[in-house]
Amino acid sequence: MTTATATTPALARPRERLLPAYLFGGVLFGIVLTKGELVSWFRIQEALRFKGPYLYEVFASALAVATPAFAWLKRHRVRSVAGEVIAIQPKALGRGVRYVYGGLLFGLGWALVGACPGPLFALVGAGVGVMAVACLAAVAGTWVYGYLRPRLPH
């Protein structure tokens, strides 16, 4: 009986065996965000007020690693652990309006909270309980976007 319940979902969703690996990846990302102080309101304001290079150095060095790695993985058609060939779906440009308007609104919220979505959740783990309210507000914001989506310019 245990084998029946254990194997059926595994057959339906073969990639779920990787869930522990994604959990581990998330933990690593959370540690990088906190130990790298990217969760810090002070660090974000330092960057947004152009008073220090830290955040820009972080972004530049992250891209210096990821950009050539992405290109290499795509060019050599490397297979992921899950088995499929690595391919990145390009985001549709369209008129580009959504990226500008959405980016501007997100940027304002980013300046106020001093955290983007990843750090928002990492801060809850780091003991800044108030950020749980900001997380819920962010979920609400996404819901309202989904509701208004048919009427918004994209």
52/65 Cα distance (integer angstroms): 22
Looking at beta carbons only, is 11 or 81 nearer to another protein?
Answer: 81
Give the contacts of 101 (CB within 8 A, at least 6 positions apart).
152, 153
Three-class SS state of 85: strand
Residue list 56-85, contact with another protein (CB under 8 A): 57-67, 69-70, 73, 78, 80-82, 84-85
11 binds another protein (CB under 8 A): no
Looking at beta carbons only, is 11 or 129 nearer to another protein?
Answer: 129
User: What is the closest distance, in whole angstroms, from the C-beta atom of residue 136 to another protein in the complex?
Assistant: 7
Tell whether the torsion through CA atoms of 124, 104, 50 and 66 is positive or negative: positive
48 binds another protein (CB under 8 A): yes
